[in-house]
């Protein structure tokens, strides 16, 4: 979107790459890979290729990084999108954010993100460590003041959340990524963080945020056993929160099946893991349950 905004400011025409016979009509082609396993389509030799799937350290030229994003390629987008901060306070080995973005730093004031003419009062923040940002309080108070419906789509760190932060979150009109349900997203990536997670949930509950308003990303297949994966999922379910499983290795049969069982809410509510695990090869059964 910043690439689009930059080239539109120069008077260029920007469109989605169609490839094939039309290669010669483009003066420049940009392509990005988010994940190393992502497949790229055939591209011209002079393509400008970037993204974390290519190299953690690659960056766009500074004049593009400083460009306000354009929404012209996304006319269906009905929310404002951006980063109030970048970076992360932690150094989780399974995560590329610290290598890519470094320590937490301010990126944009809330008002400067509200650029989408169709965005209304909906704001999706892409921050990886919102409360690690130097201006988190100022930004949260501005969100409350403007009565924005806000989605912290990357999740918030509940392990070290403070009562003050939880109280301000309660005052926000927090939303899911589709802006049709009221819940916050957190993470329980390490099984051994259980005590910190429970403490954070209590702080949020005491502030008035219900467990039913919490979704938790759960990383599996990195440094946990299937028994620990199941324990985290069921602990959160028993508290009334919503688990959402993130497989570390997407091609691992167990991780794929467990994620499918948990993340399909209708299946999760109507079928036990033991039933699903031993019967999930029967496609008719799974379709019927789903």
258/128 same-domain check: yes
Whole-number pLDDT of residue 287: 46
48/91 same-domain check: no
Q: Which of 34, 69, 104 is the last residue of a domain?
A: 69
Whole-number pLDDT of residue 284: 45
Structure tokens at 50: 């970037």
User: What is the extent of the structural domain holding 36?
Assistant: 1-69
Domain CATH number, residue 151: 3.80.30
117/134 same-domain check: yes
Whole-number pLDDT of residue 277: 84
104/244 same-domain check: yes
Q: Which of 69, 95, 127 is the last residue of a domain?
A: 69
Which of 185, 3, 33 shows the shortest CA–CA distance to 96?
A: 33
29/106 same-domain check: no
Residues 6+ apart with CB under 8 A from 241: 201, 211, 212, 214, 215, 216
Whole-number pLDDT of residue 20: 67
Centre a 10 Å sphere on the Cβ of residue 81 and count the other Cβ atoms it contains.
20
Whole-number pLDDT of residue 290: 44
Beta strands in the chain (DSSP E): 30-32, 48-50, 80-82, 85-86, 105-106, 122-125, 149-152, 173-174, 184-187, 214-220, 242-247
Instruction: Round to whole Å and give the CA distance between 261 and 226.
Output: 13
236/249 same-domain check: yes
Longest CA span, the chain:
61
Instruction: Round to whole Å and give the CA distance between 70 and 1.
Output: 5
Helix (H, G, I), strand (E, B) or coil at 274: helix
Strands 105-106 and 85-86, bridge-based pairing: antiparallel
Per-residue pLDDT of the chain (290 residues; tens, 9 = 90+): 999 999 999 999 999 988 766 667 889 999 998 888 888 888 888 899 998 888 878 889 999 999 999 999 999 999 999 999 988 778 777 777 767 777 879 999 999 999 999 999 999 999 999 999 999 999 999 999 999 999 999 999 999 999 999 999 999 999 999 999 999 999 999 999 999 999 999 999 999 999 999 999 999 999 999 999 999 999 999 999 999 999 999 889 999 999 999 999 999 999 999 999 876 655 544 444 44
Structure tokens at 155: 């999740």
Instruction: Round to whole Å and give the CA distance between 216 and 104.
Output: 22
219/256 same-domain check: yes
Q: Are the C-beta atoms of 43 and 31 separated by less than 8 Å?
A: yes
5/77 same-domain check: no
271/127 same-domain check: yes
Whole-number pLDDT of residue 39: 85
With b for 16 or more beta-carbon neighbours within 10 A and e for fewer, the 236-273 pattern comes to beeeebbbbbbbeeeeeeebbbbbbbbbbeebbeebeb
* Number of domains observed in the structure of the chain: 2
50/101 same-domain check: no
Q: Which of 35, 69, 103 is the last residue of a domain?
A: 69
Residues 6+ apart with CB under 8 A from 51: 32, 33, 34, 58
75/64 same-domain check: no
187/241 same-domain check: yes
């Amino acid at each position: 979107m910043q690439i689009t905004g930059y080239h539109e400011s120069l008077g260029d025409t920007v469109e989605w790459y169609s490839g094939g016979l039309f290669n010669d009509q483009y003066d420049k082609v940009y392509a990005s890979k988010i994940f190393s396993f992502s497949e790229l389509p055939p591209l011209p030799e002079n393509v400008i290729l970037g993204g974390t799937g290519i190299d953690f350290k690659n960056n766009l030229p500074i004049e593009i990084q400083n460009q306000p994003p354009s929404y012209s390629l996304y006319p269906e987008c009905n929310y404002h999108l951006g980063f109030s901060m970048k970076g992360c306070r932690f150094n989780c080995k399974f995560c590329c954010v610290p290598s890519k973005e470094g320590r937490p730093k301010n990126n944009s004031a809330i008002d400067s993100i509200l650029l989408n003419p169709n965005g209304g009062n909906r704001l999706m923040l892409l921050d990886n460590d919102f409360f690690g940002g130097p201006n988190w309080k100022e930004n949260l108070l501005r969100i409350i003041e403007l009565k924005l419906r806000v989605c912290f789509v990357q999740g918030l760190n509940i392990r070290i959340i403070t009562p003050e932060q939880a109280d301000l979150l309660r005052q926000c009109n927090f939303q899911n990524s589709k802006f049709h349900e009221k819940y916050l997203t957190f993470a329980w990536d390490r099984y051994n963080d259980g005590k910190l997670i429970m403490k954070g949930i209590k702080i949020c509950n005491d502030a008035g945020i219900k467990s039913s308003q919490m979704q938790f990303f759960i990383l599996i297949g990195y440094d946990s056993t299937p028994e620990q994966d199941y324990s985290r999922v069921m602990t959160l379910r028993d508290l009334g929160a919503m688990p959402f499983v993130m497989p570390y290795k997407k091609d691992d049969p167990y991780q794929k099946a467990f994620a499918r069982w948990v993340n399909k809410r209708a299946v999760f509510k109507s079928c036990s893991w033991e039933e699903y695990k031993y019967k999930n090869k029967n496609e008719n059964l799974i379709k019927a349950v789903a």
